[in-house]
């Protein structure tokens, strides 16, 4: 791992800690300054920590966790580019779309239009607008390999959602080939690991009309499990009709993670309805967010160095990583 990658992971961890703390303590972040953030964290700490750790955690765990968080944050501050912090969103979403040889031109157009219509849907736009920070989304087409077709986009309202829909509509089909779901998941995971956003949920949305053909199902499950172990949720949208029991295949080999789900389209003609339902569910608020204690402690330490962290910074594409 390069020094840049280490610094980047530290910055994302610090920003994630801050996001969880804000949500946990009920602090509004949209218009809060660094000074106000530190004051709010200080007040919340006085009111929150004694009860929290009295009920759930020992003093020893608290001290160790705070020391670990402080050390990590100190490393981030010492790095040359630590004055930048990742953009905080509710969900990081990768739309991973099958363009293998079994998908003809008409079917491809139906898929693409389904995603376009979903992000132009006023109900979905309102759901996104209601989320703290909105969402970050990108679209990747895949067959034997995978390619970034629409770059990471911050979506917070109808205007940005329509712009993302326009970008999907303008993106051409990149290739044909085999059905490489394993490569699709690995590529999508890399997109999540190397972007400039931090979300409380990281989601890969896999759609396709067939099972893995490039490698074994065991390798596919390993790719899925590795992503899930990294805290990523994989949801599935199998397109039925070309292959028997594809929905069962997706359940057993593709989807995974806390709260993961599957919505099947009966055929390509019904894809638009299925994808709208699926994305609508993916951008719904998490009804039971559970903050981790060490993440909370990390966010408290982040308050002490908040002056050197900008809440948001301009999204930069790192083409060497995608």
- Stretch among 26-35, 79-88, 238-247, 278-287 having the lowest mean pLDDT: 26-35
Q: Report the DSSP beta bridge partners of residue 98.
A: 142
In Å, how far are 36, 184, 269, 309 from 108, measured between CA atoms? 50, 17, 11, 43
Q: What are the residue ranges of CATH 3.40.50.410 in the chain? A: 87-282
- N-terminal to C-terminal alpha carbon distance within the chain: 16
Q: Report the DSSP beta bridge partners of residue 135.
A: 91, 155
Cα 288 to the chain's mean position, in Å?
17
Asked if residue 306 has pLDDT above 70, the reply is no
Asked if residue 231 has pLDDT above 80, the reply is yes
Q: CA torsion angle for 189, 190, 194, 199 (degrees, to 10)? A: -10
What does pTM read for this prediction?
0.69
Residue 212 main-chain phi, psi, to 5 deg? -60, 135
Over the chain, what is the mean pLDDT?
76
CB 182 within 8 A of CB 223: yes
Sign for the pseudo-dihedral over CA of 203, 150, 240, 246: negative
The predicted-structure confidence for 32-60, as pLDDT tens digits, reads as follows 344 444 444 444 444 444 444 444 444 44
**C-alpha span between 222 and 216 (Å, rounded):** 10
Q: Report the DSSP beta bridge partners of residue 250.
A: none
Average pLDDT over residues 132-159: 97
Asked if residue 70 has pLDDT above 70, the reply is no
Average pLDDT over residues 154-159: 98
* CATH topology classification for 87-282: Rossmann fold (3.40.50)
- Coil, strand or helix at 183: helix
17 falls in which pLDDT band (50, 70, 90)? low
For residue 13, what pLDDT is reported? 59
More confidently predicted of 73 and 189: 189
- Coil, strand or helix at 238: strand
The predicted-structure confidence for 232-273, as pLDDT tens digits, reads as follows 999 999 999 889 999 999 999 999 999 999 999 999 999 999
For residue 9, what pLDDT is reported? 55
Maximum mean pLDDT: which of 9-18, 54-63, 68-77, 149-158: 149-158
């Amino acid at each position: 791992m390069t020094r840049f990658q280490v610094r980047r992971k530290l910055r994302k961890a610090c920003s994630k800690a801050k996001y969880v703390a804000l949500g946990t303590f009920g602090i509004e972040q949209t218009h809060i300054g660094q000074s106000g953030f530190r004051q709010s964290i200080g007040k919340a700490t006085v009111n929150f920590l004694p009860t929290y750790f009295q009920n759930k955690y020992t003093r020893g765990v608290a001290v160790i966790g705070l020391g670990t968080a402080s050390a990590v944050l100190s490393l981030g501050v010492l790095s040359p580019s630590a004055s930048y912090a990742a953009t905080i969103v509710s969900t990081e979403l990768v739309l991973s779309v099958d363009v293998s040889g079994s998908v003809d031109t008409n079917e491809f157009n139906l898929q693409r239009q389904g995603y376009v219509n979903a992000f132009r849907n006023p109900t979905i736009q309102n759901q996104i607008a209601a989320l703290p920070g909105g969402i970050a989304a990108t679209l990747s087409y895949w067959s034997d390999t995978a390619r970034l077709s629409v770059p990471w986009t911050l979506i917070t309202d109808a205007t940005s959602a329509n712009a993302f829909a326009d970008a999907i509509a303008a993106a051409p089909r990149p290739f044909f080939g085999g059905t490489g779901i394993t490569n699709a998941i690995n590529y999508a995971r890399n997109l999540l690991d190397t972007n400039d956003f931090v979300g409380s949920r990281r989601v890969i949305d896999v759609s396709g009309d067939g099972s893995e053909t490039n490698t074994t199902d065991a390798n596919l499950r390993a790719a899925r499990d590795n992503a899930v172990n990294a805290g990523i949720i994989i949801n599935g949208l199998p397109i039925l009709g070309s292959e028997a029991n594809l929905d069962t295949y997706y359940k057993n080999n593709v989807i995974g993670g806390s709260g993961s789900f599957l919505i099947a389209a009966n055929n390509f003609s019904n894809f638009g309805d299925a994808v709208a339902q699926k994305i609508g569910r993916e951008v719904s608020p998490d009804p039971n967010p559970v903050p981790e204690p060490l993440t909370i402690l990390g966010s408290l330490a982040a308050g002490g160095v908040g002056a050197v962290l900008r809440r948001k910074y301009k999204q930069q594409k790192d083409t060497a990583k995608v």
